[in-house]
Chain A
Amino acid sequence: MDLSFNIQGGDFTSAGTASSQVRRTLKELGVDASVIKRVVVALYEAEVNIVAHACHGTITAQINPERVFLQLVDEGPGIPDIEKAMTPGFSTASQEVREMGFGAGMGLPNICRNADVFNIHSVPGKGTTVEITIQIK
């Protein structure tokens, strides 16, 4: 089962559409709720990253009886220092944004925590690719 979505940067109204559709699909398939929860948390976080930082991106979700594989490819500013970005609490958000309750620097660490396999490649000035695998069994 393959699903794909186009994500537009800055379109917060539609942010969450992909994770919502993937959740619905997994639920209809009868996948265990704890697995679905991890997929939704990781995907929602990654989806919002595209909306908040990139120009646009595509999300593909492949579901087979063993695992869910998510690939998020965006065209955007890229991440100059991935290691730093993966540190819990590190954030590029301004003080203002943080005071609003966003940009706590938990995005990527949270995705990583919920994934069984997590890969990230980024070219500054071009874009970022995130790959998340979550085992069903």
Chain B
Amino acid sequence: MDQQMKPFHHALSIRREVCTGCSRCIRVCPTEALRVKDGKATLHPEWCIDCGECFNVCPVRAIVVEDDDIAQIFSYKHRILLVPSIFFAQFEEKLTLDAIKGILYDMGFTELCTVEQGADLLVDEINHYIEDFEDEKPVISSYCPAVVRLIQVRFPSFSHRIMRLIPPLEITAQYYRNEYQKNGVPLDEVGIFYVTPCAAKIAAIKAPVGGYTSPINGVINMSELYNKVFLAYKQKGTSEHEHCTLTHSSLSSIGIRWSTTGGEAVNIRGRALAIDSMPNVIDFLERLENEEIKGVDFLELRACDMSCCGGILVQDNRFLIRERIEKSAEELPLKHMLDQEFKNVCSGHIPMDPVEPRAMIKYHSDLTIALQRMEESRRLRLMLPGIDCGACGAPSCEALADDIVCDRATPDHCVILHAHRAGSEMLEKIWGKKHFNKE
């Protein structure tokens, strides 16, 4: 319960001085957490799930990702960068893996490790978890933090189905911290940094679910790092750095595919589905709630279209990235070089506590009041024009009606209704009489 009371940590924020109040973001938010007020988009912090749909549509870049400054890596003697394979796949083939690594070492990192090394040992763990799961299936993957938050907020009754196993990123982070500790390095000299393709992963590292504390010290924005690497390449060409440690970047074909759609589901022994992009995920979860879907053992759900290839901080086209990953995967072995070591070190540290539900209270926590408000809201919907123009600052007429009954707005917010009452004939010419006379 304690955890439930803590406010969500958000990695997305709105720069009020830049926001033009254009209202594009309010329409794409899957939890309707945004409104335009005083000419600026404002966020309902309890409803935001950091999915980044708003970031994608903002035409003036008023929505920003709150990452960590890359300069902070120098507060540590050992500077480890956990790099997702997506990062390398953003670059065209002429910029080789070794060249990219060289440039990253030039920037001051002392060790580069691929994130998906932690995926391989999850294969057996997930399969056992599903077999032993006593509650109603499907088990839902804990991989995508935006989906985890979506479920907490919009599908709270499925929270207990989120598998209680930490994602590969955290397994890899634990492994490398443990390696340094084992070699007698004081932990305050070890800085572990992660290059993130999205905002949700930042939020998940800073405020993890399942009673877990992440060993990751800082999160670096993938888009910024991409620019830095590309600039260095353009200005100086490839680096002279030759001390690439191959074992730490060795990956299996299972691992490299993990962050792409189907990369997880394909390893499941039972019936598993892979679903990507927010509208598809929501639609499927609603069908599951309707009891329409039976006999599925596992759901791999990803908030972004094409999973992490389509992350909001990923450069280049997501289909091209997927293609490059597929190509690399074909040349990789089934097991990576550190496979056994990962099993030895990390196997005991994978379970986490259940994910707490954080249901959004739409009307009121008292059912009698909630019913009154809902009935009032439905009456209001009949009065409102139903064209979802967004001029009131809410994403839809339904959302405005709910805002009115919860005292967050007044019927005067509807400018269409205003104009119609003031006698505008044009409105009926465009929209017809029945938009204004539904009762």
List which B382-401 residues lie within 8 A (CB) of chain A.
none
Interface flag for A117 (CB, 8 Å): no
Decide yes or no whether B365 CB sits under 8 A from chain A.
yes
Shortest CB–CB separation between residue B394 and chain A, in angstroms?
A: 16
Q: Which of B144-177 contact A (CB under 8 A)?
A: 156-157
- Cβ of B354 to closest chain A Cβ, rounded Å: 15
What's the tally of chain A residues with a CB closer than 8 Å to chain B? 21
User: Do B292 and A30 have beta carbons less than 8 Å apart?
Assistant: no
* B292 with A65: CB separation less than 8 A: no
Bound-complex Cα distance A27 to B367 (A): 11
Smallest Cβ-Cβ distance to B361: which chain A residue: A30
Residues of B near A33 (CB, < 8 A) are 156-157
- CB of A30 within 8 A of CB of B290, answer no
- Is B375 close to A, CB under 8 A? yes
A40-B289 in contact (CB<8A): yes
Question: Which residues does chain B contribute within 8 Å of A20, judged by CB atoms?
Answer: 286, 290
Residue in A23, A25, A41, A136 whose beta carbon sits within 8 Å of that of B374 in the complex? A25
Q: Size range of the interface on B? A: 10 to 19
Overall SS of chain A's interface: helix
For residue A13, give the distance in angstroms from its CB to the closest CB of chain B. 13
Q: In the complex, what's the smallest C-beta–C-beta distance from A35 to chain B, in angstroms?
A: 11
CB-CB under 8 A for A41 and B371, given A30-B363, A30-B365, A33-B156: no
Residue of A nearest to B357 (CB): A33
Tell whether A77 is near chain B: CB-to-CB under 8 Å: no
Fill in one digit per residue for A36-47: 1 if any B CB lies within 8 Å of its CB, else 0: 110011001000
Tell me, rounded to whole Å, the shortest Cβ–Cβ distance linking B233 to chain A: 51
B362 contacts across to A, CB distance below 8 A: 28-30
Q: List A contacts of B289 (CB < 8 A).
A: 23, 27, 40
The answer, yes or no, to whether B368 is at the interface (CB within 8 Å) is: yes
Tell yes or no: A133 within 8 A of B by CB. no
Contact of B375 among A1, A19, A27 (CB under 8 A): A1
| Cβ-defined partner of A30 (8 Å) among B291, B370, B375 | B370
Task: Answer whether residue B359 sits at the interface, using C-beta atoms and an 8 A cutoff.
Answer: yes
- Is there a chain B Cβ closer than 8 Å to A123's Cβ? no
Enumerate chain B residues within 8 angstroms of A44, measured Cβ to Cβ: 290-292
The B350-377 residues at the A interface (CB cut-off 8 A) are 359, 361-365, 367-368, 370-371, 374-375
Residue with the highest number of chain B CB atoms closer than 10 Å, among A16, A30, A41, A44: A30
Known: A16-B290, A28-B363, A37-B291. 16 other contacts (CB 8 A): A1-B374, A1-B375, A19-B290, A19-B291, A28-B374, A29-B370, A30-B359, A30-B361, A30-B363, A30-B365, A30-B367, A33-B156, A40-B291, A44-B290, A64-B371, A136-B367
Q: Which 7 A-B pairs have the closest CB atoms?
A: A33-B157, A65-B367, A65-B368, A29-B370, A28-B362, A20-B290, A40-B291
Residues of B within 8 A of A (CB): 156-157, 286, 289-292, 359, 361-365, 367-368, 370-371, 374-375
A-B contact pairs, 19 of them (CB 8 A): A1-B375, A19-B290, A20-B286, A23-B289, A23-B290, A28-B363, A29-B367, A30-B359, A30-B365, A30-B370, A31-B367, A33-B156, A37-B157, A37-B291, A40-B289, A40-B291, A44-B291, A44-B292, A63-B371
